[in-house]
Each structure stands twice: as C-alpha cells, then as structure tokens.
Amino acid sequence: MKFDVKTGDICAWECDAVVVNLFEGVEKPGGATGAINSALGGAIVELIKNGEIKGELHEVHIVHSLGKIPARIVAVAGLGKKENFNADKIRTVMGDTVRTLKKHNCRRIATIIHGAGIGGIEPGPAAQAIVEGCLLGSYTFNKHVTKKEEEHDIEKIILLERDKAGLGMIKSGVNRGVIYAEAAIMTRDMVNEPANHMTPTHMAEIAEKIAEECGLESTIFNRKEMEKAGMGALLGVAQGTSQPPKFIVLSYRGNNAGKDTIGFVGKGLTFDSGGLSLKGQEFMSDMKGDMSGGAAVIAAIGAIARLKLKVNVTAVIPATENLPGGRALKPGDVLRTMNGKTIEVVNTDAEGRLILSDALSYAVKNGLSPIIDMATLTGACHVALGDLYAGVFTNDQSLVDRLIKAGAEEGENLWQLPMPEEYEEQNKSEIADIKNSGGRYGGAITGALFLKQFIADTPWVHMDIAGPFMSEKASGVLVKGATGFGVRTLISFAEKYAGKGG
C-alpha cells in the first residue's frame, strides 16, 4: 500500500473509491461530503433521511456512483459524535473503511483529510492517523498459508487536499504515519509468528537486522556471557528448553549532548508453557505471544532511529522459552539474580518476572534512566482491565502521566494501578530474599512490586500488556491476532522526550 498527497477536487478524482465522512446527527453535510452529495444528485442526504446513513463510528456506507463521478464507489465513513472526536477516531474510521473497500475490490482510493476541517485536528496529525489506520486496519498475517485466496490488495491511497497551503505538514504526517505503523506491523508479525519459528535465536537475528538497517549498536549475550554476568534468574528459566536463550541489547544515540539514556525493557518469552507448573491447554494457546513486550521494544527503537529523534535509547530484551523437562526449574528452587538478590521459585509459571529481574538489573547497572518495561506479565491484569487497557505501575508519577498521555494520543489505553507497600508482604519468602508469586489476590500488583525490587531508585514505569497484546476481533485499527500494542506509545513518548531536549 502506497500513499500520495495531492491537491484536487474529490468529485473529479479518477480512482476506484473516494472516502468522505459524516458526524453523527448531521442531516445536511457540507464540505467534501456536501459536494459529493450534490454530484450524486442528493443520494447521501436521501440515505441520511431514510436512516440508512447515521454517521456512527464504525459505520462505513457504500454508495455506487453509477457514472455520476469518475470514482466507482463513494464510502461515507461515520465519525461518531462530534464531542467525542479526536485524532484516534480518524485511525478507527480508516481501519474500518479500508477493510470494507478491500471487500468491494477497490485498489486505488482517494480520501479527504478527516478531522482537518470542522473536526479541529491539525493536518499533520490527521494525515498521520489516516496512514496508521489504513496500514494497521488492512493488516493480514498469511505467510504460512500455501494456497492463498485471491485477494486484491489496496495499491494506493491518495490524501486529497483542496489547497496547497497545508501540503508540507500533510506530507510529513504521512511519513511519520508510515514509520509508526510499520513498527506496529513488525511487532504484529513477530507476535503472530508461531513459536517454532520465533525462537530466541530468531528474535536475536531480527534485532541484529534492525540494528543494521537503522544504524543501532547491538550486543547479543549467549548462555556463557549470561553466566559471566550473573543472570541466574534468566538462566534458570532457560534450563528447561533446548533452545539457547539470548539477551538482546540495542542502542540508539540520537543526542550525544544528552545525559539520559532511556531504557526500554521488553519480556521476550518466545513460548510460555508454564514450565513444570504447566498451564492448561486453554491458557497456553496464545503463549507464542509472550514475547510481545520484547518485540515492541525492538520495533520501537528501530522507529525512533528512523525518525532520527534527538534522544538516546537502549532496548534490553531477555529472550527464552519456558518449558518443562528433565533439567527444568522446579518449584522450590532458589535462583540468584544479577544484582545479587535471591528468589525462591514457588511457581515456574511466574517466569516473566524472573527474566525481567536480570534485565532490569542490567538496565540499572548500565545507568539507563528512565526505564520503561513492557511485559505480558499477569493473567490477573487481563482479568482486571480487559482487552483494551494495559496496566501501568510506577515510582514516578510525572513519568507515568507522560506515558499515559502519549498512549492516549495513539489510541493505546494505559490505566494506572496502585503499588501499596502493604502488599509487599505477599512476595516475602522464608528461605530467600523474595518469592516469585504473591498468590491470587492483586496478582498484577504483586507482579509489579516484585519488579520494583530490581530497579533501585531509577524513575520507572512497568506496563503489563497481558490484556491488549492480542485481539479477538477486527475493529478499527485492530484485526484478529496480535495488536502490536505499546509500540506507538513508546515512539510517541520518545518523540515528546526528544522535544524536551532529550
């Protein structure tokens, strides 16, 4: 799918489909929608009168032009209620629209810049949102299907603007949209990839490829180097599998004058069977995606480099499988982490916090600050917040506020949960410094409190993405399967961080 920005009249544009829009409750549309309505002899107003077009969000109404304009189809996309409108609604609208137009065999599409008129959104962010919506909403993962159904992909999307004034801003919005969306797509591809393909070794290869393409520095620790560094918790989890574990470090320096290097830490568990504390079948099926956090931070640092942001970032990804076996970790085992703390493993299925304890220790030891970790850490967080919210936890309120804002702008919902000291009790062990499960109640919180033990005083946010890493259905920018959740939040956060002087 390619994008182009042009000036011209939507009523005269030659293509398969033109996209116009309607706010809910509007009976006599103006602007481009009004002009198209006139060209079609009043068809749109008639459909509104009959209650067929309502302008609701997720509604895409197809009107056939029957030769009245050059485009074969007019798609009238609902923008929803005007008071709820924001840039993220544009993404949703375009995600729904491209899926509909694909079914109607459209390859060349022209759209107006939704939101830039009465919607009150700046043309740059509006164009960025259009591009993200189109790319994410039409995403498919079919590389392993040998007999592909004949599908017509959308070849070109033209963003049409009436006058030349905003063209520069629109073009840069399109560029940014492509970089943001491609990063999320790369994450989706990695997460959707079955675990027999997406091994820790393969994750490391992808990280190295990104490093080469985007000019990042990369270091991959093998088992021996992990031993030398004292990463006993990561090595403990990796004992049960014959796949070699990898500890992946990628660095981008875009601000040599800046003193901070942001640390992104992502859980790279390429398959989580639970280990000897084996999961039931129902809970194991999505666990090829337990490396979503790791995939997200790899893609995010690549995008940050492509955008040439004036900021320093290091991404740290502990990658391994969690399998049962003759050498596997046993409940009751005690492990020693890189920062010297000891952990009693009471449940081998709470492996995420084990591998992250070494990754966070590494990040702290290397002076990364602030640190943001992203992990599919607890089923409890999914239960608490559902599919559309990640839980966030912090020791620095202003940092989490900035992250939540960056997420909201990208349509990625983050909801802060508390970290009461009283619950630390639940992680206490009788035979080691800490144990790896705090029991059933407040599971997402005790998971976060466990991680807090390894970040010292560094400003830190933990994102538990166990809810939103996968989607059950297609809606807006989401399709069934991996969502790429969190990648765009991290890029946007870094962009704002760079704006503040890095």
Residue 349 binds Mn ion, judged by CB under 5 A: yes
CB nearer to ligand BES: pick between 240 and 302: 240
Nearest distance from C-beta of residue 156 to Mn ion, angstroms: 44
> What tokens appear for 9 in the block?
């009249």
260 neighbors 278 (Cβ within 8 angstroms): no
**Binder among 351, 410, 412, 495 for ligand BES (CB under 6 A):** 351
**Interface with ligand BES includes 265 (CB under 6 A)?**
no
CA distances in angstroms from 108 to 14, 97, 300, listed in the order given? 9, 13, 30
Tell me which residue of 365, 308, 61, 354 sits closest to 179, measured CA to CA. Answer: 308
Is 321 a binding residue for Mn ion by CB under 5 A? The answer is no
How many CA atoms does the CB half-sphere of 14 hold within 13 Å?
0
**Segment near Mn ion (CB under 5 A); pick from 99-107, 120-128, 344-352, 386-394:** 344-352
Helix (H, G, I), strand (E, B) or coil at 461: strand
Residue in 31, 34, 70, 379 binding ligand BES, rule: CB under 6 A: 379
Q: What is the largest CA-CA distance in the chain?
A: 80
Q: Kindly tell me which residue out of 184, 226, 390, 466 binds ligand BES, with binding defined by CB under 6 A.
A: 466
353 tagged catalytic: yes
423-462 mask for ligand BES (x: CB under 6 A)?
Answer: --------------x-----x-------------------
- Give the binding range for Mn ion (CB under 5 A) out of 145-153, 266-274, 358-366, 400-408: 266-274
Using the rule CB under 5 A, is 272 a contact of Mn ion? Answer: yes
- As a whole number of angstroms, the distance between CA 404 and CA 381 comes to 17
59, 182, 272, 344: which one contacts Zn ion (CB under 5 A)?
272
Number of residues that bind ligand BES (CB under 6 A): 16
Q: Which stretch binds ligand BES (CB under 6 A): 126-134, 347-355, 358-366, 449-457?
A: 347-355
Contacts (Cβ under 8 Å, ≥6 apart) of 419:
393, 394, 395, 445, 448, 449, 452
To ligand BES, the closest distance from the beta carbon of 462 in angstroms equals 14
CA–CA gap between residue 110 and residue 123 (Å, rounded)? 16
Nearest approach, Cβ of residue 330 and ligand BES (Å):
15
Q: 97 or 277, CB closer to ligand BES? A: 277
**CA geometry: angle 173, 179, 182, nearest 5 deg:** 130
Residue with Cβ nearer Zn ion (72 or 330): 330
Catalytic residue among 89, 246, 310, 353: 353
The tokens describing 275, both together, are 């280990």
Minimum gap (Å) between residue 195 Cβ and Zn ion: 12
Residue 269 Cβ vs Zn ion, minimum distance, rounded to whole Å: 5
279 catalytic? Reply is yes
DSSP string across 102-168 = HHTT--EEEEE-TTSSTT---HHHHHHHHHHHHHHHT----TT-SS--------EEEEEESSSTTHH
Instruction: Provide the token pair at 331.
Output: 């409940």
Report if residue 413 touches ligand BES, rule: CB under 6 A: no
Using CB under 5 A, which of 123, 352, 468, 476 touches Zn ion? 352
Contacts with 224 (C-beta within 8 Å, 6 or more apart), sequence order: none
Site for Mn ion in 160-199 (CB under 5 A): none
Number of residues located near Mn ion, criterion CB under 5 A? 3
Catalytic option among 54, 82, 279, 336 = 279
Q: How many angstroms from the chain centroid is the CA of residue 178?
A: 14
Give whichever of 26 and 237 is closer to Mn ion, judged by the CB atom.
Answer: 237
> In this structure, what is the dihedral angle of CA atoms 450, 482, 386, 24, given to the nearest 10 degrees?
140
Q: Which amino acid is at 321?
A: E
Instruction: Figure out which of the listed residues 349, 358, 373, 495 binds ligand BES, where binding follows CB under 6 A.
Output: 349
Contact residues for 200 (Cβ-Cβ < 8 A; gap 6+): 243, 244, 245, 246, 268, 270, 319, 320, 321
- Our finding on whether 373 is near Zn ion (CB under 5 A) is no
Left if phi > 0, otherwise alpha if psi is -120 to 50, otherwise beta: which for 439?
left
Instruction: Work out whether 275 is an interface residue with Zn ion (CB under 5 A).
Output: no
Output the smallest distance, CB 438 to ligand BES, in A.
Answer: 7
User: Phi and psi (nearest 5°) for 34?
Assistant: -65, -40
Supply the minimum distance, in Å, between the C-beta of residue 272 and Zn ion.
4
- Residue 410 is a binding residue for Mn ion (CB under 5 A): no
- Of 189, 290, 321, 409, the one binding Zn ion (CB under 5 A) is 290
CA distance 255 to 261: 9
By Cβ distance, which residue is nearest to ligand BES?
379
As annotated, the active-site residues are 279, 353
Interface residues with Zn ion (CB under 5 A) are: 269, 272, 290, 352
List of residues contacting Mn ion (CB under 5 A): 272, 349, 351
